[in-house]
Structure 1
Amino acid sequence: MYLNCHTYYSLRFGTFSEKELLRLAQHNEVTRLVLTDINNTSACLNFVRLAPDFGITPILGIDFRNGVDPCFLGIAQNNQGYLELNDFLSYHLHEQKKIPPVAPKFSNAYVIYPFEKILLNEIMTLNENEYVGVSITDLRKLPFSRLISWKDKLVVQQPVTFRNKNDFNAHRLLRAIDNNVLLSMLDKSEEASEDEKMFPITNLAAAFSEHTYILENTERLLNSCSIFFDFSEKKPPQNLNTYQGTKEKDEALLEKLCREGLAYRYPNGGKGITERLEKEMKLIKEMGFVSYFLINYDIVTEARKRGFFYVGRGSGANSVVAYLLRITDVDPIDLDLYFERFINLYRTNPPDFDIDFSHRDRPIMTEYIFKRFKNVALLGTYVTFKERGVLRELGKVFGLPKNEIDILCEGRQNQSNLDDISRLVIKYAQLIMGMPNYLSIHAGGILISEKPLHWFSATHLPPKGFATTQFDMVIAEDVGLFKFDILGQRGLAKIKESLDIIRYNRPEASHDLDIHNIRQFKKDPKINELIKTAQCMGCFYVESPAMRMLLKKLEVDNYLGLVAASSIIRPGVAKSGMMREYILRHRDKSRALEKGHPVMLDIMPETYGVMVYQEDVIKVAHHFADLDLGEADVLRRGMSGKFRSREEFEKVRLKFIENCRKKGEPDQIIFEVWEQIASFAGYAFAKGHSASYAVESYQTLFLRTYYPLEYMVAVLNNGGGFYRAEFYVHEARMLGGIIHPPCINRSFDANVIYGKEVFLGLGYLKELEIRVIERIVKERKLNGNFYSLEDFLDRINISIEQVGILIRIDAFRFTGVNKHQLLWKAHLLLSGKGKIDHPKLFPPKHQNFQIPELHTTELETAFTQFELLGFCLCSPFKLMEEPPKNSRCARDLKMFLNRHIDIYGYLVTVKNTSTHHGKSMHFATLVDQQGEVFDVVLFPPIAAKYFFRGKGVYRFYGKVVSEFGFLSIEVIKMQKQDYIPDPRYADMKMSTKVFSNKEKQV
């Protein structure tokens, strides 16, 4: 009887989930139920999936509204009707058009107009599929309205939005947040009526007892509706079924491509390749994944045609078929990658291919996919209300002052001192937290469906301009839609741009350069020495302080070691304590035999019996706990957290424990192994994924080894990496580069290199307008370099403020004229006009102004660079008010091992973290006076006394310690060092002081 039910996917309106709606309906003995969220279908598929568990027949619809103003309900008679409703809603969302007051003629959907709308709009007739909804509140008006005679057209429309008073209050708060107003200022028209509740079915029937025909009409409508989506384990995939039109053609093409790939990948043959290929092909055909492989092949082939770099990774990297099709560059036979992680007869979902493109190429490839295939959409996701965000929003709508909101958000409040308003904020934050706030886009998921995407949900159109589903990847997989991951990555842009830079800067070295020669890179002693010594600044995935620390502890000097390190660094392995155990066993092989379980050592000999990769979970579940591969795969999926709450995951967990007990394993071992599995929590990599990352790491390490300056320029031009741009500039200098500030004759928007000279880009000048940069570059290209300030002003349309920025950063230093003199000259030349509107046909003659000789100091230059670039190009140690009292550096740490050291460092980065007891501690990386990096740690007692106050030079006193050969300083005392006063303003202050004294004397 309930045709109009809302969940919290009626965004910033509804107050509970689709599961809670079903639970509520079950409690009230409702057996057929219509879900009609407001202009949204996010909950629909999961509602259908869950409904049988509650003994409820699900029906789908949409509450079409403009804002909160209701227009009509659309209720699908069947799946075709649901498609019609989704088409209609999607059109209006994409075009940002208002919902019309009158519904179109739906062939397979009912339309229900609100009682009040029919009265106000004077609609005299309704189509066969159209009805008028009557709520319990409307019953009082019905006998006195003209609609009393429309007996065949009246149905029950008792909206359901709340369960109780708390829900209603939360609804009002959500509406205030949505309207960005104080709760006290919220217009009543923005709220739903408090009586939008679900009553027991008998109570509802009693309310309409004087109008039984309304109940009969409603029953008849409900009984004529039926919706079906297959959520069974044996459901057929809903992705595009065939690539070429028939299954036979697809299979023949896949076989042909694999034969061609064998000649390319294994020109000299190889042991076990044919057998592995046959095994994979058989399974791929049986599982119906042929088209999935061919679509991925199509995408990467197009990328190569366009000259785009890409990296194929994910569990699909375990497949030799993927390697032969050049979807991935990881040889699964060479790495002994576990095939069952990639695919097995129990696995219903296809392998996961993550294809990374440069952030510049990815939009082009996405557009290609939308044009190449039919029924394409980006995968949606939901941004939920997070704790701090919802506290801040609720604080605003309750009218709390900012400082009180800040205290609540930071958790600094004393519960006993809270006033009533603050308590309400905290109470309702707990209720609203976790609710969806707005729809967003999955990081890279694209759906390519056999059926129209609107068969499954409506789509909206985010700013990227591509249709996006209103459901997420979990429910997509449940219904048989498997995503293609097309991701953006700056690392690939760095590689591509490096090659372009090498071609123009060192053309003689670029002829034989093959960036895909990974086999040779793996054997290169120079590259492996960089890894071993952790000299990896700017290199993909291996440059962070944590990775640098791990590489040194493991003494990694080969590809396989780097593959393992790429996964060990992940939070799941670290959290379980397995990172430390792996390091211990790696450094002392006898420890593995002493500490490792014999079965675990047998399963994972290369990782010393320690779970490092995702597939290790499958191996352990299968061989240690005797789970079949299907059950083991449920564990693997459960690790991601997406399915952890699902009942099937809990059943497998219990079976894991039961099977181990039957084998006689003690509970201590069983639960220790289980905790390792549970702690992975979706953070561990598949081995093939780690191997793919390691390949890209080796490519960037190769470039850093043999083309360091070109590579650093490319890193800077693509947004840097883990660190600020300043430190990549510093690294370029350490690698032999001569760094220049921007120059109007030699710089572009981005950085550029000539030989060993690096000119910073004009784009670093934060206040310089992009259109000015474009004019400079364009004019220089057309008419050559500028030879003086006058020549520049004659040719470029520019304001005095903008030319002042260029002069102050020394962009005119080629003129040999001091920048103070140039600033005077610019002001005199522009003489109050603001800017010169050029170019002119004949440049004017300029008056030769007599300007006194002025000077600029190095310190002035440094502080101007700080202001305009965000960093200076000289050593920051030169700017200290008091020069360093010693010259100790990172190289001295060995001499001070287990002793105390006094050392200065310029802050690179800080990681703030907490102990298990919630106490703060800090890890920091710094640059010493010689430009080398070192690390310090502040344990909780010290972190309680000292903290880092932004970038600058710090002085440390502490003990040098070694952990697995990695040296760091446990800080005892620290102090930030003062810079000298900015000389540009010091003179001004002195002048003011002198003038003030003279004034007093007068």
Structure 2
Amino acid sequence: MYLNCHTYYSLRYGTFSEVELLQLAQQNQVAQLALTDINNTSACLNFARKAAEFGIKPILGIDFRNGVDQCYVGIAKNNDGYQELNSFLSHHLHHQEKLPPIAPDFKDAYIVYPFEKVVLNNQKTLKEHEFIGVSIANLRRLPFSRLIQLKDRLVVQQPVTFRNKRDFNAHRLLRAIDNNMLLSKLPKTEEAGEDEKMYPVQNLAAAFSEHSFILENTERLMNSCHIHFDFSEGRKPQNLHTYNDTQSADEEMIERLCLEGLPRRYENPDQKIHDRLRKELDLIKKMGYVSYFLINWDIVTEARKRGFFYVGRGSGANSIVAYLLKITDVDPIDLDLYFERFMNLYRANPPDFDIDFSWKDREEITQYIFDRFQNVALLGSYVTFQEKGVIRELGKVFGLPKEEIDTLSEGRQQITGLDGVSQLVLKYGQLIKGMPNYLSIHAGGILISERPLHYFSATHLPPKGFATTMFDMVIAEDVGLYKFDILGQRGLAKIKETMEILSYNRPDEFSKLDVHDVQKFKMDPMVNDLIKTAQCMGCFYVESPAMRMLLKKLEVDNYLGLVAASSIIRPGVAKSGMMREYILRHRDQDRAKEKAHPVMLNIMPETYGVMVYQEDVIKVAHYFADLTLGEADVLRRGMSGKFRSREEFEKVKEKFIDNCRKKGYADALIFEIWDQVASFAGYAFAKGHSASYAVESYQTLFLKTYYPLEYMVAVLNNGGGFYRTEFYVHEARMSGATIHAPCINKSFAINHIYGKDLYLGYMYLRDLEGRVMERILRERSQDGRFTSLEDFLDRVPIPIDQVSLLIRIDAFRFTGTNKHELLWKAHLFLNKNMKIDHPKLFPPKRQDFKIPQLRTTDLETAFTQLELLGFCLCSPFQLLKEIPKNSNGSKDLERYLGRYIDIYGYLITVKNTRTHTGKRMYFATLMDQQGEVFDTVLFPPVAAKYNFRGRGIYRFYGKVVSEFGFLSIEVVKMQKQDYIQDPRYAEAIPVPSGNRGILEN
């Protein structure tokens, strides 16, 4: 009898989940009900999936509203009707149009108009599919209304939004948050009625007993509705069934493409390669995934035509078919990639292909997919209310002062000492936490469906401009829709831009370079030496301090070692304690025979019996615990955070333990292995995924080895990486570049290199307006370089504050005039209040002003750069108030091994972490006076005494230690060093004698 039920996917309105709605219905003996969220269908598929568990027949619909003003409720008679409703809502969401007061003529959906609306609009006629909804509150007015005459058009419309008073209070708070106003100011029109509750069926029937025809109409309407989606284990994929017109054409095409790819990938393919190919093709056909592979092939083929760089990774990288189709660049035969991780007969979903594109190309390739295929949408996701955020929102709604809100959100309060309002904030914060706040987009998921996507969900249109489903990845897989992952990353853009820079900066080298010749890079001793010495700043996935430390400890100097390292660095392996064990076994391979269980060593000889890759979970579950491949995959997926059935997972866990006991393993061993599996399975990479990352790492390492300046410019132009901009500028300098501040005649928006001269881009001038930047570049491109400040001011419309910014950074240094004199000139030539919006037709006559002779110091320049760029172009050590007492650096650590060292370092990055007992400690990476890096660790007793206080130079006293050959300093004392006072704001500041030389630029 309930045709108008809401969940918390009626965003910032509803108060509980679709499962809780079903529980509520079951408690009230409701046998069938309609889920009708407000302008949203996020919960519909899961509601339909779960309804059978509660013995309830699901009906799907939409509560169509303009804001909170209810227009009508649409109820789907069947799946086609649900699609009609979704299409109607989507059109209005995409075009941001108000919903019309009268619904369209739906063929397979009913429309229920609220009683009040029909009275208000004086609606006199209703079509066959249209009804009038009467709530319990409307029953008092019904006998006195003309609508009582339309007996066959009246149905029960008792809205369900709350379970109790607490839900109603939460609803009011959500409405206040949505309207960004104090709760006390929230109009009643923005709230639902407090009576929007579910009553037991018999109570509802009793309320309508005098109008039994309304109950009969409602039951007849509901009985005529039937919705069905297949959620069974054996369900067919809902992805596009065929790439060509027929399945046979698809199968013929994939065979042909693989045979064409064989000689390109393998010089002399042996029987092992042919057998693996046949095994894969047979299974791909049997599982019905041929079109999935061909669609991915289509996407990467188009990418290559457009000159886009891409990396294919994920579990699909274990596939030789993917390798031959050039979806991936990882040879599964060479790396002995585990076929069953890629696919097995028990796996319900197709292999996972993550295809990375440059962040600059991703949108274009997405547009191609939308244009190329018919039924396409981005996959949705939900942004939920998080604890700190919701407390802040509720604090504002209750009108608390900012200081109190800060205290509450940071958890610095004693609950017992709080006033009533603050306690309410915390109480309702816990209730609202985790509810969906607004719809968002999955990181890279795209759905390409056989049916229109509106068959499954309405779509909305986020700022990117691509239709996006209202459900997430888990629901999509439940119903048989498997995503194509089209992701963006900056690493590929760095490779592509390096090539573009080489084409103009070193054209002879560019013409001979094939950046895809990864096999050659893998064998290059200079590239491998860069990995071994961990000189990897700016290189994809291998530049962080943790990765640099691991590479040194493992002494990695080859591709396979890098593949392993890129998975070992993941949180799970370290958490399980197996990272350290792996390093020990790698450095002493006899240890593996002593410590590893023979079965584990036999399963994973390459990794010394240590689980490193995702497929190791499958191997251990299958060979160590005798689980079937299907059960092993349940185990892997259950730990990935993407799995739905916890019950199924727990059953497999129990079977894992039982099987091991039957095999006679001791409980200590069983639970040790289980803990290893459980601790890292959700974080580890598939081996093929790690191998794909390692390919891209090798490409960037090669470019850094042979073309370091061009590569570092590309790194800077694509947002840097793990570190701050200044350290990539420093790395370019260490590689031989001469760094120049932005220049009016030689700089562009981004960084530009001429030979070995690197000119910083205007983009680093944070206060320089984009329109000014564009005018400068356009004018310079059209009419050539500027000859003087006056020439610039005549040609470029620019306000005084913007030209002052350029003068202060010394962008007019080509004039040979001191920048203080230039500032005088600019202020004299430009009227401060003059509106500048177009260039002058004729150069004005200039008055010749007499300007006093001024000078600029190097220190003043450095502090100006610090202010305007965020970093200075000289060594930061030259800004110290006191000259360093020594010149110790990274080069001296070996000499001090086991002894104490006094050393100065400029802070690059610091990791603030906690021990297993919760005590704070720090790992910090710093730059020494010679520009090299070194690492420090502050254990809890020292970390309790000393804090890092932002960027700057610190003096350390500590013991040099070595762990597996990686040198670091265990800090005993630490002190931040003061910079000299900014000379721009002080008079006659004496400069330390050691700092009086010309500063490096």
TM-score after normalising by structure 2 = 0.97
Q: Which amino acid aligns with 1:878?
A: Q
Q: Secondary structure at the match of 1:987?
A: coil
- CA distance, structure 2, for counterparts of residue 101 and residue 805 of structure 1: 56
C-alpha displacement of 1:852: 2.1
- CA distance, structure 2, for counterparts of residue 805 and residue 387 of structure 1: 42
- Per-residue deviation, residues 410-430 of structure 1 (Å, max 9, x unmatched): 121122222222221111111
What residue is the counterpart of 1:969 in the other structure?
Answer: 969
What residue is the counterpart of 2:957 in the other structure?
Answer: 957
C-alpha displacement of 1:407: 1.4
Identity %: 76
Distance 1:101 1:529, change over 3 A: same
- CA distance, structure 2, for counterparts of residue 844 and residue 143 of structure 1: 85
Contact 1:954 1:976 in 2 (8 A): yes
Counterparts of 1:727-766 in structure 2 under 5 Å?
727-766=727-766
Distance 1:838 1:48, change over 3 A: closer
What residue is the counterpart of 1:201 in the other structure?
Answer: 201
Contact 1:886 1:903 in 2 (8 A): yes
What residue is the counterpart of 1:377 in the other structure?
Answer: 377
- Per-residue deviation, residues 430-470 of structure 1 (Å, max 9, x unmatched): 11111111000000000000000000000000000000000
Counterparts of 1:16-165 in structure 2 under 5 Å?
16-165=16-165
Q: Secondary structure at the match of 1:811?
A: coil
Greater shift, 981-990 or 910-919, is seen at 981-990
Greater shift, 306-315 or 791-800, is seen at 791-800
Contact 2:862 2:873 in 1 (8 A): yes
What residue is the counterpart of 2:580 in the other structure?
Answer: 580
Q: Secondary structure at the match of 1:843?
A: coil
Counterparts of 1:588-607 in structure 2 under 5 Å?
588-607=588-607
Contact 2:799 2:832 in 1 (8 A): no
Contact 2:573 2:579 in 1 (8 A): yes
Contact 1:250 1:291 in 2 (8 A): yes
What residue is the counterpart of 1:352 in the other structure?
Answer: 352
Greater shift, 591-600 or 836-845, is seen at 836-845
Contact 1:602 1:609 in 2 (8 A): yes
Answer yes or no: is 1:305 the counterpart of 2:308.
no
- Per-residue deviation, residues 231-254 of structure 1 (Å, max 9, x unmatched): 111111100011111011111111
Contact 1:793 1:836 in 2 (8 A): no
What residue is the counterpart of 1:925 in the other structure?
Answer: 925
- Per-residue deviation, residues 867-910 of structure 1 (Å, max 9, x unmatched): 11110000111111111112111121222223222211111111
C-alpha displacement of 1:521: 0.6
Aligned length: 990
What residue is the counterpart of 2:896 in the other structure?
Answer: 896
C-alpha displacement of 1:777: 1.7
Q: Secondary structure at the match of 1:232?
A: coil
What residue is the counterpart of 1:856 in the other structure?
Answer: 856
- CA distance, structure 2, for counterparts of residue 133 and residue 831 of structure 1: 69
What residue is the counterpart of 1:221 in the other structure?
Answer: 221
What residue is the counterpart of 1:999 in the other structure?
Answer: none
C-alpha displacement of 1:987: 2.8
Unaligned runs of 5+ in 2: 991-1001
- CA distance, structure 2, for counterparts of residue 924 and residue 363 of structure 1: 37
What residue is the counterpart of 2:811 in the other structure?
Answer: 811
What residue is the counterpart of 1:441 in the other structure?
Answer: 441
What residue is the counterpart of 1:503 in the other structure?
Answer: 503
- Per-residue deviation, residues 294-318 of structure 1 (Å, max 9, x unmatched): 1001000000101111110111100
Q: Which amino acid aligns with 1:648?
A: E
Greater shift, 789-798 or 349-358, is seen at 789-798
Q: Which amino acid aligns with 1:768?
A: L
What residue is the counterpart of 2:934 in the other structure?
Answer: 934
Q: Secondary structure at the match of 2:930?
A: coil
C-alpha displacement of 1:158: 1.3
- CA distance, structure 1, for counterparts of residue 3 and residue 766 of structure 2: 56
- CA distance, structure 2, for counterparts of residue 662 and residue 56 of structure 1: 42
Greater shift, 64-73 or 584-593, is seen at 584-593
Counterparts of 1:553-952 in structure 2 under 5 Å?
553-643=553-643, 646-680=646-680, 682-832=682-832, 834=834, 839-952=839-952
- CA distance, structure 2, for counterparts of residue 96 and residue 937 of structure 1: 55
Answer yes or no: is 1:450 the counterpart of 2:438.
no
Q: Which amino acid aligns with 2:107?
A: S
Q: Which amino acid aligns with 1:426?
A: L
Distance 1:842 1:193, change over 3 A: closer
C-alpha displacement of 1:509: 1.3
Distance 1:417 1:580, change over 3 A: same
Q: Secondary structure at the match of 2:986?
A: helix
- CA distance, structure 1, for counterparts of residue 283 and residue 472 of structure 2: 28
C-alpha displacement of 1:646: 2.9
Q: Secondary structure at the match of 1:896?
A: coil
Greater shift, 556-565 or 180-189, is seen at 180-189
C-alpha displacement of 1:945: 2.3
C-alpha displacement of 1:793: 1.6
- CA distance, structure 2, for counterparts of residue 369 and residue 70 of structure 1: 37
What residue is the counterpart of 2:332 in the other structure?
Answer: 332
- Per-residue deviation, residues 293-348 of structure 1 (Å, max 9, x unmatched): 11001000000101111110111100000000000000110000001111111111
- CA distance, structure 2, for counterparts of residue 378 and residue 873 of structure 1: 44
Distance 1:851 1:585, change over 3 A: same
Q: Which amino acid aligns with 2:980?
A: I
What residue is the counterpart of 1:522 in the other structure?
Answer: 522
- CA distance, structure 1, for counterparts of residue 404 and residue 937 of structure 2: 33
- CA distance, structure 2, for counterparts of residue 460 and residue 803 of structure 1: 44
Q: Which amino acid aligns with 2:694?
A: A
Q: Secondary structure at the match of 2:213?
A: helix
- CA distance, structure 1, for counterparts of residue 474 and residue 243 of structure 2: 25
- Per-residue deviation, residues 90-132 of structure 1 (Å, max 9, x unmatched): 0110011111121111111111111111121111121111111
- Per-residue deviation, residues 186-239 of structure 1 (Å, max 9, x unmatched): 111111112211122122212222221111111111111100000111111100
Q: Secondary structure at the match of 1:177?
A: helix
- CA distance, structure 2, for counterparts of residue 774 and residue 929 of structure 1: 39
Contact 1:794 1:838 in 2 (8 A): no
- Per-residue deviation, residues 815-842 of structure 1 (Å, max 9, x unmatched): 1111111111222222556477764454
- CA distance, structure 2, for counterparts of residue 252 and residue 776 of structure 1: 57
Greater shift, 283-292 or 125-134, is seen at 125-134
Answer yes or no: is 1:465 the counterpart of 2:493.
no
C-alpha displacement of 1:782: 2.0
- Per-residue deviation, residues 636-657 of structure 1 (Å, max 9, x unmatched): 2112112265322222222222
- CA distance, structure 1, for counterparts of residue 833 and residue 822 of structure 2: 17
Q: Which amino acid aligns with 2:307?
A: G
Contact 1:800 1:835 in 2 (8 A): no
Contact 2:572 2:683 in 1 (8 A): yes
- CA distance, structure 2, for counterparts of residue 649 and residue 102 of structure 1: 49
C-alpha displacement of 1:919: 2.6
Distance 1:831 1:208, change over 3 A: closer
C-alpha displacement of 1:939: 2.2
- CA distance, structure 1, for counterparts of residue 971 and residue 774 of structure 2: 49
TM-score after normalising by structure 1 = 0.97
Q: Which amino acid aligns with 1:626?
A: D
- CA distance, structure 1, for counterparts of residue 335 and residue 260 of structure 2: 22
What residue is the counterpart of 1:993 in the other structure?
Answer: none
- Per-residue deviation, residues 898-941 of structure 1 (Å, max 9, x unmatched): 32222111111111222223332222111111111111222223
Contact 1:493 1:718 in 2 (8 A): yes
C-alpha displacement of 1:961: 2.0
Contact 1:830 1:836 in 2 (8 A): no
Contact 2:474 2:644 in 1 (8 A): no
Q: Which amino acid aligns with 2:120?
A: L
Answer yes or no: is 1:483 the counterpart of 2:483.
yes
Counterparts of 1:375-414 in structure 2 under 5 Å?
375-414=375-414
What residue is the counterpart of 1:534 in the other structure?
Answer: 534
- CA distance, structure 1, for counterparts of residue 72 and residue 826 of structure 2: 66
C-alpha displacement of 1:168: 1.3
Greater shift, 571-580 or 432-441, is seen at 571-580
What residue is the counterpart of 2:997 in the other structure?
Answer: none
Contact 1:800 1:834 in 2 (8 A): no
Contact 1:795 1:838 in 2 (8 A): no
